[in-house]
Chains A and B, each alone.
Chain A
């Protein structure tokens, strides 16, 4: 009898499809109650740092250069109080084979797929990760399918995503595109089942562990060059894997004093599953539409337990506006001679503002850049925005209305990084996760889990769960 590939039938087979396509039995790490053993999962299913460096090195991934942004630092100091204005650095991850840090995640995932004997890999992504998986699949001789949400219902495509499709195809991958909606997940599951390929999810332990080399390299490069670790590392934050992997790598290098800051483009108010909002966003990643839900509910991804758990490592979370990131992208080109981004420059826009709070002798690092190209370019994105009726003008970025206008700062001194209340984020995470508890009862190990997951204290977690009406046994 032919297998039932209807929407309901495929979605109901989700657990078995997942298990067969990732090769991990996630149930092994589940604990009684709501938690699971994250570190054990990372240890038993991931790779050691040395193994990852070896795997990535074989395909030319990693060891990207550090650049000091002398001119951006000088500019930031003009607006900082006397003695303030940290040195701004970037790690030029655009130098990776597929043009972004995602090559690190893909290198491990595809290597692992090959080792387990899969004939091909599939990833659901509209971002740089698609090209990264396609590039790695090309090197390992595996087949590759990338599924991306690309067009609205009128077949108008986001230029940035179209460019990413082109890049995947350039590496020989098959690209399946969809209109707007979470039902993409159905296509993804169906393809996994139909082909028997490996699920090169962004959120597996090997994918996240692949980013640990980035954090480790940062510490080593700074120690060699400056004799110390950077004081602050800013990560553009969407699904949380970039921040999680980088922070874990820094910790493995012993850089425990380094503050890890998340930065996202603020797209509050635009609905991520809205057909009409789809092309009113000028950023397709690095924004709050991913950053917030994934921070406060990481297991919403395409694997049962996401290895990207940003709240475990985040010291601070700041938001910038679209106009500020575009402005900074132009500043990077005009003052530093580097054309990168634009989405990858989210952390740079934040760093420009954060540097002004820090002492002159301190160091702030933007830990990634991404390639730029047709469609995936400030000019292409601003043109597309104008075509979609978005007003673009100079003014105070504070007044930006998402989906209506993009306000470029009238003056560079107007660039700001706006703090998200970390305790509100933690409380939101606790509310989401505790809801899985039966009969409103939490176990003692659930509390320990929640403390680790939110990088907070037992006192904080207990106060939160009690206010939500949970009993602790």
Chain B
């Protein structure tokens, strides 16, 4: 597979997933819905060897630990945002200004 597009090169910053406990090993006090699913851990680091997406991979983390799991994301980034338009928020602003200052200011 060397040279293939599917190979992620050693040294690439990636996120791996590791199943820590399967659903038979989970803590006894858990609610039923959680007991049905495995306990999973996600770690980021630099690939120690070339690896394939969804394949086994070992990373070196920022503190120098080596962790193994399944390669799930290459060069992970953040995409969380300020959400969508929430009409209720504009109404709150208008209501409050009217309540405090009457109808004339931004009413």
Residues of A at under 8 Å CB distance from B? 7, 71, 74-75, 78, 120, 143-145, 150-151, 153, 157, 159, 162-163, 166, 172-183, 186-187, 194-195, 271, 273-276, 327, 330-331, 333-335, 374-375, 377-384, 386, 392-394, 408, 411-412
Contacts and interface: CB of A to CB of B under 8 A. Distances in A.
Given A120-B63, A177-B41, A273-B31, A380 B82 contact: yes
B62 to A, nearest CB: 4
Contact of A380 (B29, B40, B80, B92): B80
Given A78-B99, A334-B92, A335-B97, A187 B80 contact: no
B89 A71 contact: no
B99 A275 contact: no
Q: Which 6 interchain pairs have the tightest Cβ spacing?
A: A383-B83, A375-B80, A153-B37, A380-B83, A174-B62, A334-B93
Nearest to B30: A273
Interface string B36-74: 111111111000000000000000011101000000000
Given A78-B99, A174-B62, A177-B42, A275 B21 contact: no
Given A335-B96, A412-B96, A271 B31 contact: yes
B31 A274 contact: yes
Nearest to A187: B41
8 contacts: A159-B80, A179-B37, A182-B29, A183-B20, A187-B41, A195-B65, A271-B31, A379-B82
Nearest to A150: B42
Given A71-B100, A274-B33, A380-B80, 20 more contacts: A7-B25, A159-B80, A162-B80, A175-B44, A176-B43, A177-B43, A178-B39, A178-B41, A179-B38, A183-B20, A273-B29, A275-B34, A275-B37, A334-B93, A378-B86, A379-B83, A380-B83, A382-B83, A382-B86, A383-B84
A30 B34 CA distance: 36
A275 B61 CA distance: 27
A389 to B, nearest CB: 15
Contacts of A392: 86, 88
Given A7-B25, A179-B37, A412 B30 contact: no
Contacts of B29: 182, 273
Contacts of B92: 327, 330-331, 334, 408
Contacts of A186: 20
B27 interface: yes
Contacts of B91: 394
B40 A153 contact: yes
B9 interface: no
Contacts of B100: 71, 74-75, 78, 335
Contacts of A276: 33
A453 B91 CA distance: 45
Taking chain A's interface residues, is the majority helix, strand, or loop, or is none over half, making it mixed?
A: mixed
B104 interface: no
Nearest to A331: B96
B78 interface: yes
Contacts of B38: 153, 179
Contacts of B62: 143, 172-174
B81 A375 contact: yes
Given A75-B100, A174-B63, A327-B92, A181 B39 contact: yes
Given A183-B20, A327-B92, A273 B80 contact: no
A163 B80 CA distance: 7
Contacts of B40: 151, 153, 178-179
Contact of A334 (B21, B65, B88, B97): B97
A378 B84 CA distance: 11
Given A331-B92, A374-B80, A412-B96, A379 B86 contact: yes
B63 A195 contact: yes
B80 A166 contact: yes
Contact of A330 (B20, B37, B83, B89): B89
B65 A412 contact: no
Q: Which of A120, A151, A162, A177 has the most CB of B within 10 A?
A: A177
Contact of A381 (B31, B33, B83, B96): B83
A374 B96 CA distance: 25
Contacts of A378: 86, 89
A74 B97 CA distance: 12
A175 B41 CA distance: 11
B1 to A, nearest CB: 26
A433 to B, nearest CB: 19
Contacts of B20: 7, 178, 183, 186-187
B44 A183 contact: no
B63 A380 contact: no
Contacts of B88: 382, 392-394, 408
B13 to A, nearest CB: 11
A172 B86 CA distance: 34
Q: Which of A174, A179, A180, A195 has the most CB of B within 10 A?
A: A179
